[in-house]
């Protein structure tokens, strides 16, 4: 049996940071240490366990086969330690540490950021690190506690909690309607100028269903503006460029204020779900549970 007293377990934190950051320099910045100290920790760790973990070259740093196995075990050990501490604190009235959240840009700015500010007011010792981007976040590689994903989830080993329904409307500006007229049926849509969100699986195709259950497939044929960010497409629609298929949370205030008008309100676009996704674990960290519960409460109704 290995005598753990001969091994400095604190070096596991440094080792995991080196692997996830991709270099000694990046790990040093993350940990607030000088590079030489990080390098020394790695050398001592390899000496203590008697196994080479890292392959160093002038161009890159990589793991040995033993290093890959040791990284997974170290990451799980550190995660278990963090969870044990949080579980022990679960009866406390406050949260500490850093909550790392990722979200699509528009949802992050409109929904998540204000919510996190409210959590900070409730838990002043909690720090927030919010990453907004419209790409799929690798939770493990990027050290994210929880991410918000819109629409259908891809298969993964992560856990997911549904927090809301994702609803979209067709909208256009009053100026656009004045120039092109208000479409009376789905058949009037395809030839209208269209603003496309390019990151959607089918940016120019969608189905509409009326209250009687009749469904019509629509293919927009005149895309005049396309972008990979929802904020840019909303700006284009507000400027009168074309019809936009938009999430309700991003345009409901514009519709209420008359800056945008909902088209064909008697027809509905297919709905999907909004999920909070987090790494699979036996014990969900308290800070993640608090965030998910707050997000559900904020979007209820």
Domain boundaries, the chain: 4-86, 97-162+273-299, 168-270
Query: Which pLDDT belongs to residue 86?
Result: 66
pLDDT of 91: 46
What local confidence, expressed as pLDDT, does residue 282 receive?
65
* Pairing relationship of beta strands 97-103 and 126-132 according to DSSP bridges: parallel
Domain 4-86 part of CATH 1.10.10.10: yes
* pTM for the predicted model, two decimal places: 0.65
CA dihedral (266, 272, 276, 277) in degrees, to 10, reads -160
Q: Do domains 4-86 and 168-270 have the same CATH topology?
A: no
Return the SS3 of 236: helix
Rg (CA), the chain: 25
Q: What is the DSSP letter of 17?
A: H
**C-alpha–C-alpha distance, residues 46 and 8, integer Å:** 11
CATH 3.20.20.70 fits 168-270, yes or no: no
- How far is the CA of 237 from the CAs of 131, 187, 214, 234, 241, in angstroms? 26, 20, 28, 5, 5
CATH of domain 97-162+273-299: 3.40.190.10
pLDDT at 89: 58
Q: What is the per-residue pLDDT for 94?
A: 65
Residues of the chain with pLDDT under 70: 1-5, 57-59, 84-94, 155-156, 282, 301
CA-wise closest residue to 170 among 143, 194, 144: 194
Burial of 18 (0-12, 13-18, 19+ CB in 10 A): buried
Cβ-contact 131, 137 below 8 angstroms: yes
- Report pLDDT digits (tens) over 78-126: 877 777 666 665 545 567 889 999 999 999 999 999 999 999 999 999 9
- The alpha carbon dihedral of 102, 104, 105, 106 has a sign of negative
The answer to whether the beta carbons of residues 79 and 20 sit under 8 Å apart is no
**pLDDT for 30:** 85
């Amino acid at each position: 049996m290995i005598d753990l007293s001969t091994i400095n377990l604190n070096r596991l934190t440094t080792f995991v940071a080196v692997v996830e950051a991709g270099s000694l320099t990046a790990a040093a910045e993350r940990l607030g240490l000088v590079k030489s100290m990080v390098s020394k920790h790695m050398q001592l760790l390899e000496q203590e366990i008697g196994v080479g973990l890292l392959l160093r070259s002038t161009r890159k740093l990589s793991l040995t086969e033993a290093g890959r196995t040791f990284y997974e075990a170290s990451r799980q050990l550190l995660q278990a330690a963090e969870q044990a501490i949080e579980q022990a604190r679960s009866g406390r009235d406050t949260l500490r540490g850093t909550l790392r959240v990722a979200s699509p840009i528009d949802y992050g700015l409109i929904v998540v950021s204000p919510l996190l500010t409210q959590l900070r007011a409730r838990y002043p010792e909690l720090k927030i690190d919010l990453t907004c981007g419209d790409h799929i976040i690798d939770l493990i590689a990027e050290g994210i506690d929880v991410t918000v994903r819109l629409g259908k989830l891809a298969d993964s080993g992560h856990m997911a909690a549904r927090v809301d329904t994702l609803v979209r409307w067709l909208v256009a500006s009053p100026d656009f309607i004045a120039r092109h007229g208000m479409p009376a049926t789905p058949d009037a849509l395809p030839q209208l100028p269209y603003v496309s969100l390019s990151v959607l699986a089918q940016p120019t195709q969608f189905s509409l269903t009326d209250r009687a259950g009749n469904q019509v497939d629509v293919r927009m044929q005149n895309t005049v503006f396309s972008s990979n960010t929802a904020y840019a497409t909303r700006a284009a629609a507000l400027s009168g460029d074309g019809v936009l298929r938009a999430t309700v949370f991003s345009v409901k205030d514009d519709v209420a204020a008359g800056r945008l008008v909902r088209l064909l309100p008697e027809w509905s676009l297919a709905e999907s779900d909004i999920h909070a996704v987090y790494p699979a674990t036996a014990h969900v960290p308290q800070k993640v549970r608090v965030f998910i519960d707050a997000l559900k409460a904020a979007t209820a109704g």
